[in-house]
Amino acid sequence: MAKKTPALADLSTEEKIREAARKLFTKKGYAATRTRDIAEEAGLNLALLNYYFRSKEKLFAIIMVEKLQKFFGFLLPIIYDESTSLESKLETISAGYLDLLMVNPDLPFFILNEIRNNPDLIVNVVKRKDFLKNSVFLKQLKDQRPDADPLQFLLSLLGMCIFPFVMKPGFQKITDTNDHKFFQMMEERKKLIPVWSKAILKAKYPK
């Protein structure tokens, strides 16, 4: 039996606060989240937040690093894997991202939002700043299509994977799609994106 969200009562006080902070920060962002809300969400007193984490900002920084690692961490081993083909990587990346985001639908928006406020955050997590430029993935792209800009392709691949989640609330409102239907679509996208990304990879590159 998987324990996605462990019962609040079972957690230590510190972890209760973390869990509540994760939920609220990802949902509403730093500025719109009040420490009172976090304390209430955790079923605890406000003072405990400062007792354990000293300040809202410090608590936020902890959650942020966690989330950044989730968002970029799983990508690193894939794009540096010498043993897999480009096509295999496309499948792994899209399926991996969709699985990750189906469990954490608010993650991309949160990350993108807070990077906007502080772009240097990325560097701290990604460590090596040329991690993308030096990757096997980018080299394989360059090999397959020496005539094309691999970054253009990457933007489209990520857009296809991530954008639906960034747009989720608006999309659901416009198309009258409930959560069940949305996640069903994302499940289908796991098959679609590999096919589509290969199609655009083979497409004639316009001059």
Partner DNA sequence: GTCTATAACCTGATAGAC
Partner DNA sequence: GTCTATCAGGTTATAGAC
Binding window for DNA (CB under 7 A); candidates: 43-51, 76-84, 100-108, 173-181: 43-51
SS3 at position 33:
coil
Residue 207 is classified by DSSP as: -
Position 149 contacts a second copy (CB under 8 A): yes
In angstroms, the CA 23 to CA 65 distance is 15
Q: Is 146 near a second copy (CB under 8 A)?
A: no
- Alpha-carbon distances of 41 from 19, 24, 32, rounded to whole Å: 9, 8, 15
Q: Do residues 156 and 103 lie in contact, with contact meaning Cβ atoms separated by under 8 Å?
A: no
| C-beta neighbour count of 148 within 10 angstroms | 16
Write the single-letter amino acid at 116: R
Based on the number of CB atoms within 10 Å of its own CB, is 86 exposed (0-12), middle (13-18) or buried (19 or more)? middle
Shortest Å distance, C-beta 31 to DNA? 8
Among 113, 139, 144, 145, binds a second copy (CB under 8 A): 113
**What tokens were used for 143?**
């090999």
Q: Is residue 117 part of the contact set for a second copy (CB under 8 A)?
A: yes
- Which of these ranges, 16-24, 37-45, 49-57, 146-154, lies near a second copy under the rule CB under 8 A? 146-154
Please work out the total of residues on this chain that contact DNA, with binding judged by CB under 7 A: 17
Based on the shown chain and the rule CB under 8 A, indicate whether residue 62 belongs to the binding site for a second copy.
no
- Site for a second copy, rule CB under 8 A: 28-32, 109, 111-113, 115-117, 119-120, 122-123, 126, 129-133, 149, 151-152, 155-156, 158-160, 162-164, 166-167, 169-177, 185, 188-189, 191-192, 195-196, 198-200, 202-206
